[in-house]
Amino acid sequence: MRLDRFLSETTPLTRSLAKRALKDGDVTLNGKPIKQAATQIDTEQDEVTFNGEKLELVGLRYLMMHKPTDVECTARRGLYPRVIDLIDLPKVERLQPVGRLDADTTGLLLLTDDGQWSHRVTSPRHRCAKVYIAELAEPVEGSAAKWAINQVAEGIMLEGEETPTQPALLRFLTPTQAELTITEGRYHQVKRMFVALGNHVNALHRQSIGDITLPNDLAPGEWRELTAEEIASF
């Protein structure tokens, strides 16, 4: 790997700033100052330091977060803080949400810098089940609940769509709290499904994705690395 590329991947430096740091004598290779940006290094054998600190490549990362409300799953800074602002890791900007949640939606969020793994989780072909808990504006009971459950099981048409939703599983925990399991990821799908059923979602929480369930001891805003078993489940 070129030395300037290695620096840009292990520090906050861009390639141009990495070249400047080399010229300024801030970088050593195996204990000796080096200034040639095009120098090829062995990332496993050679030791590179920047301002006296040893550098190491960041491998692929797989995280889960309990996303709090009023936090955005975007790269750009906007009205709310970004989820990556809550994560203290090097090169955190490389991490991408695996299926976004709206700013006002809470719950399980996966993040990774492994694009292939992310695609396996989100691809409609894989029919990955996602479980949401919705707090509803209007209570649903009796025959109305049975009707809603049957409609969701058959697939419903959303406004602006040309095909119905895939069959999904709806369960009412209370008259105003519902658990919905879907295998798609259409735009604002859960909220739009309840609108199509004549209701409105006041609050939404994602509880699980595939075999990964949000742990009870992971507080809003906290995150942890996925286990090898969790990573391999997709």
The catalytic site residues sit at: 102
**Residue 134 to residue 140: CA distance in whole angstroms:** 12
Instruction: Give 39: exposed, middle or buried? Use CB within 10 Å, 0-12, 13-18, 19+.
Output: middle
**Residue 169 to residue 149: CA distance in whole angstroms:** 7
Contact indicator for 201, 102 with CB cutoff of 8 Å: no
Contact indicator for 63, 111 with CB cutoff of 8 Å: yes
The H or E element containing residue 170 is strand 169-174
* CA proximity to 170, closest of 199, 187, 186, 233: 199
DSSP at 167: P
